[in-house]
Amino acid sequence: MSRTTSRTHKVRTRSAAVVAALAVAGLLTGCAEELPTPKPEAPVAAAVVTQAQEREILDKVAGVVEKVTKSSQAEDLAGRLSGPALDIRETQLKVAAARKDQEPLTDLSMQMQQVILPSDQEWPRNSFAITVQPKDLTTPVLMTFEQASARDQYKLWGWVRLLPGVTMPRFAEADLGSAAVAADDESLKTTPTDAIKQYASVLTVDKDSKYAGNFADDDLRQFFRDYGKLQVDAINKEECKGAFEVAYEPTKDPVKSVRTADGGALVMAAMISKETITAKEEGCEIGPPTKTTQALWGDADVTNVVEVNYQDMVAMYVPPKGSDDQISLVGYEHVPMSVSNG
């Protein structure tokens, strides 16, 4: 894959101490006998989850993931995984069992280099975290955790593997917390919900999408170009008139978004996709092209079509309204869940 780098947005902020000092200086320049009555200080923003609490959450989730990885008892995942993360991990375990190896499993050991904690008092509450580089030297993983209500445990809701070389947007300091962004928030170049819908169009038809100009080019789009060409060329060598198509759509899962320091948002969402490889010449037959799709194929008859259904997660940076920057992908997860002969 090619390297994709999103821009870093530098925001100069004044600390609470500096602001307080300036306020005092302003008072001292007035008439001493007419000093105003001191007012209570404005409340200081603070994360509703401390870094120590987040570490406890991470340890508990990681413990469940590790236990299930060793035992392959996927039903135990629901205690600490939910939503797309639960679906994707169950699929990965199925694929790993079919292949008889653990290569398909994303490293979810949860040693973090950065946490992005919530500042919102209401529920659901979401936190984000970025791992250190895994031992298998794949890229770090961006994870989203959700507490659905005050009585619920925090659970891993979704994750993506970051793009090679990506530069993440800046966030507020962890102790201050970062605000959630509503799915229909209009302070961005486009709302989080619309950003995901538009990106589904771009992934499906690439540069032919009317939204293509809203997005920076990225590794996932380049992957489909390269992979599709590889499959078509292999079929054409057999004079079978190959064709490759991919179709994406968002799921009904809620979009998770958090405010960045420049007023933009980091957006994570679940998607599903279908990849279709076809040999159009009469009499030609093709089979599943990869080790994973072969493992999921089973004993199905070979025809002229291979269809692969995927579960996907994507994370992107959406700039604030008025920015000249494009929306940019920061990471994705693309997991095959089933294969058929069409």
Report CA torsion sign: 159, 61, 68, 151: negative
Per-residue pLDDT tens over the stretch 56-109: 999 999 999 999 998 878 999 999 999 999 999 999 999 999 899 999 999 998
Per-residue pLDDT tens over the stretch 106-165: 999 899 999 999 999 999 999 999 999 988 888 999 999 999 999 999 999 999 999 999
The runs of H, that is alpha helices, within 107-243 are: 192-205, 219-237
Is residue 204 helix, strand or coil?
helix
| pLDDT at res. 45 | 64
Per-residue pLDDT tens over the stretch 196-235: 999 999 999 999 999 999 999 999 999 999 999 999 999 9
User: In this structure, what token pair is assigned to residue 84?
Assistant: 């797309």
What whole-number distance in Å separates Cα of residue 13 and Cα of residue 268?
A: 26
What whole-number distance in Å separates Cα of residue 89 and Cα of residue 12?
A: 40
Listed residue (314, 212, 204, 207) closest to 270, CA to CA: 314
What whole-number distance in Å separates Cα of residue 114 and Cα of residue 118?
A: 13
Please tell me what DSSP assigns to residue 317: E
| pLDDT at res. 334 | 97
Per-residue pLDDT tens over the stretch 5-62: 433 333 333 333 333 333 333 333 333 334 344 444 444 468 999 999 999 999 999 9
Contact 262, 9 (CB under 8 A): yes
What whole-number distance in Å separates Cα of residue 247 and Cα of residue 191?
A: 22
Q: Which amino acid is at 341?
A: N
Per-residue pLDDT tens over the stretch 315-336: 999 999 999 999 999 999 999 9
What whole-number distance in Å separates Cα of residue 183 and Cα of residue 42?
A: 29
Reduced 3-state DSSP string for 149-165: CCCCCCEEEEEEEECCC
Per-residue pLDDT tens over the stretch 277-312: 999 999 999 999 999 999 999 888 999 999 999 999
The phi, psi pair for 160, rounded to 5°, reads -140, 155
| pLDDT at res. 41 | 42
What whole-number distance in Å separates Cα of residue 69 and Cα of residue 106?
A: 11
| pLDDT at res. 136 | 81
| pLDDT at res. 298 | 85
Contact 139, 164 (CB under 8 A): yes
What whole-number distance in Å separates Cα of residue 168 and Cα of residue 22?
A: 32
The runs of H, that is alpha helices, within the chain are: 16-28, 51-71, 83-99, 192-205, 219-237, 291-297
| pLDDT at res. 81 | 98
In the predicted model, is pLDDT for residue 271 greater than 90?
yes
Averaged pLDDT, 162-169: 96
Split at pLDDT 50, 70, 90, the class of 173 is very high
The phi, psi pair for 22, rounded to 5°, reads -65, -40
Number of C-beta neighbours around residue 40 at 10 A: 5
